[in-house]
Structure 1
Amino acid sequence: MFIVKVNGTVLCFGIKEFAAVIGLKCGLVGNFVLDPSISNRLIQKYFGKMNKVPKLDFLNKFKEVDYFESEDRFNIGVLYFISTFLIDSEASKTTIPKRYFNLFETKYK
């Protein structure tokens, strides 16, 4: 359960509600079609050939105005929210795995 207070109102929602609102794919891990040999478009486009992105690098690029192209900004913004607020960890010691980027571009059975 995720709980946040916005303008004096407490909002409570689970992962399925969160996924429905922002359009993420949500379901059983086995239902996601992942081919490890295929690179992720977002990672390749903005970070080069990697399987995980250093969180500090991601956060620094997120802060740059107009670094990400307009068609990718929503997904990058959601990924920022997930990696910063839902999965809080020290940026200098953490990476964002390819599977998080795949939430936006993976086929679902």
Structure 2
Amino acid sequence: GTIINYSLQGYRRADLTLSISYDTDIRKAKDIITEVLKNNPKVLKTPEAEVSVKLLTDSSIQLAVRPWANNADFGVVSSDTLESCKLAFDAAGIVIQPFVKEVSKK
């Protein structure tokens, strides 16, 4: 297929994942993330950021968070998005679901 080097365009997309509990209202979590992205001036308005359900795992709902940023702001946008989402989730009482790994000793 065709490979497109988006970094030559001066901007790129971060592919972040947040895991939430099955007890969490998905729409509420997505609304909070969307608001976090709208409030970050370094997140580009065009192309528009995406927030969607990525996976339903055994232990969590994984949300894909895909903001676009200028190349120079990419690292800051990635880390600020994760931090701001965590703080907003804490304020709303939403728990980020940790990865659960079962270990069996026989």
**Structure with higher helix content:** 1
Q: Quick check: which has more Rg, 1 or 2?
A: 2
Provide the TM-score with structure 1 as the length reference. 0.26
Provide the TM-score with structure 2 as the length reference. 0.26
